[in-house]
C-alpha cells in the first residue's frame, strides 16, 4: 500500500511544478531577469532557480537521501538567464529530479530525524523530522511559484 503522505506529496509537487512551468513558459527573454520593484525583489529566473534547487534539496532530506545534492544558495539569488528555452529546460530537468526523489522513495519513516545542510534558514537547527522536511519543501515551493506567477503578471501588465 502506498504511503498516503508520499502519494499526497507527489500530487502537490506535480501541481506546483506544473504551475512553475506555466509561469516560465512563454516569458520573453527581457522579462526573465526583470525585478518588479528593483534590486531587492526577485526575477522569474531567480525564483525558478531557487525554488527548484531548494525543493530538490529538501525532498532529499525528507526521504532520507544519502547525499544532499550540491547547492550554492547565494548563487541561486544571482541567477541570470537570457534564454527562455534554457530556463524552461532547467525547470523540466530539475522538476523530473524532484518527482523522481518521491517516486523512488520507498517507505519513509516520517518521524525519523534528518540532518540538514548548513544552508538552512537557522544555523542553530541541525536536524529536523522527515515530516517537517516534506512539508517545508512543498510549502516553500508553493510560495515561490506564486511569486513567479505574480512577477510574470506584473511584467505583462506594465
In order along its 158 residues, the chain shows pLDDT tens digits of 579 999 999 999 999 999 999 999 999 999 999 999 999 999 999 999 999 999 999 999 999 976 778 888 889 999 999 999 999 999 999 999 999 999 998 899 999 999 887 555 566 668 899 999 999 999 999 999 999 999 999 999 99
pLDDT at 21: 98
Q: Pick from 59, 19, 23: which is nearest to 142 by CA?
A: 19
pLDDT at 6: 95
pLDDT at 158: 92
pLDDT at 153: 97
pLDDT at 156: 96
For residues 17 and 98, the answer to whether their CB atoms sit within 8 Å is yes
pLDDT at 67: 75
pLDDT at 66: 67
Residues 6+ apart with CB under 8 A from 13: 55, 59, 98, 99, 102, 138, 141
User: Which of 2.40.160.20, 3.40.50.10790, 1.20.120.450, 1.10.150.530 would CATH assign to domain 4-157?
Assistant: 1.20.120.450
Q: How many CB atoms lie within 10 A of CB 69?
A: 14
pLDDT at 122: 62
Integer Cα distance of 69 and 79 in angstroms: 18
For residues 44 and 34, the answer to whether their CB atoms sit within 8 Å is yes
Amino acid at each position: 500500500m502506498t504511503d498516503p503522505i508520499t502519494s499526497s506529496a507527489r500530487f502537490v509537487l506535480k501541481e506546483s511544478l506544473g504551475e512553475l512551468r506555466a509561469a516560465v513558459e512563454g516569458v520573453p527573454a527581457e522579462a526573465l531577469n526583470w525585478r518588479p520593484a528593483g534590486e531587492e525583489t526577485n526575477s522569474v529566473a531567480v525564483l525558478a532557480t531557487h525554488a527548484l534547487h531548494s525543493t530538490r534539496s529538501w525532498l532529499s532530506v525528507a526521504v532520507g537521501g544519502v547525499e544532499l545534492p550540491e547547492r550554492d544558495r547565494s548563487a541561486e539569488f544571482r541567477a541570470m538567464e537570457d534564454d527562455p528555452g534554457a530556463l524552461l529546460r532547467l525547470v523540466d530537468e530539475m522538476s523530473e529530479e524532484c518527482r523522481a526523489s518521491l517516486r523512488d522513495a520507498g517507505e519513509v519513516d516520517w518521524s525519523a530525524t534528518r540532518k540538514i545542510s548548513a544552508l538552512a534558514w537557522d544555523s542553530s537547527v541541525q536536524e529536523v523530522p522527515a515530516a517537517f522536511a516534506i512539508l517545508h519543501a512543498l510549502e516553500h515551493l508553493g510560495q515561490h511559484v506564486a511569486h513567479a506567477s505574480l512577477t510574470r503578471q506584473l511584467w505583462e501588465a506594465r
